């Protein structure tokens, strides 16, 4: 025969102690066979959901600036590599043709086969056709002995720095559009 004694746990759930063959077993009052209490559904309360959403928002606010900064750094690194790629393509073109091309489209398909640079880089000549947030401005020097290539961010969300490279192959950076070889090296 089992003895039933009512008591309350420290966290105020009324329970019964069942004294049986296996020892003392604690069972909360008001539970059905399915494990749900008779007066309460098995969902989350509004305060639990609000706390969870608040924690997620706080984590997002902490991580968002780092993600934006990482994206800017990636775009700038890609622009630097594109400047070097264009420089290499122009250098090979000059070795073969003994002059600088009038535009970047001259060193890609269909005018150059095989192409010296990828067409999506050569076609990034305006903010509307930018490549990874940067567009390129190419100009041949008046005497035809050199070139100037500038990489500009499409807007402030895609990059902060402007880049410059010429026939010397050294990439320079600055914060204005008129970046030149007098600005610091990358």
83-101 pLDDT tens trace: 999 999 999 999 999 999 9
Q: Are 49 and 140 in contact (CB under 8 A)?
A: no
Does residue 18 have a pLDDT over 60? no
Average pLDDT, the chain: 84
136-170 pLDDT tens trace: 999 999 998 999 999 999 998 999 999 999 999 99
């Amino acid at each position: 025969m089992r003895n039933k004694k009512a008591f309350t746990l420290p966290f105020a759930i009324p329970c019964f102690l069942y004294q049986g063959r296996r020892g003392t077993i604690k069972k909360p009052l008001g539970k059905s066979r399915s494990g749900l209490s008779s007066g309460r559904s098995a969902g989350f309360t509004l305060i639990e959901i609000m706390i969870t959403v608040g924690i997620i928002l706080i984590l997002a606010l902490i991580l968002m600036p780092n993600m934006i900064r990482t994206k800017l750094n990636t775009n700038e690194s890609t622009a630097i590599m594109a400047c070097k790629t264009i420089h290499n393509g122009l250098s090979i073109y000059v070795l073969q043709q003994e002059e600088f091309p009038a535009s970047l489209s001259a060193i890609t398909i269909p005018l150059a086969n095989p192409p010296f640079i990828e067409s999506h880089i050569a076609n990034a000549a305006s903010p509307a056709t930018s490549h990874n947030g940067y567009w390129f401005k190419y100009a041949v020097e008046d005497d035809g002995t050199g070139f100037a290539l500038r990489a500009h961010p499409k807007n402030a969300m895609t990059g902060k720095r402007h880049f410059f490279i010429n026939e010397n192959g050294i990439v320079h950076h600055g914060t204005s559009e008129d970046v030149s070889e007098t600005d610091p090296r990358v």
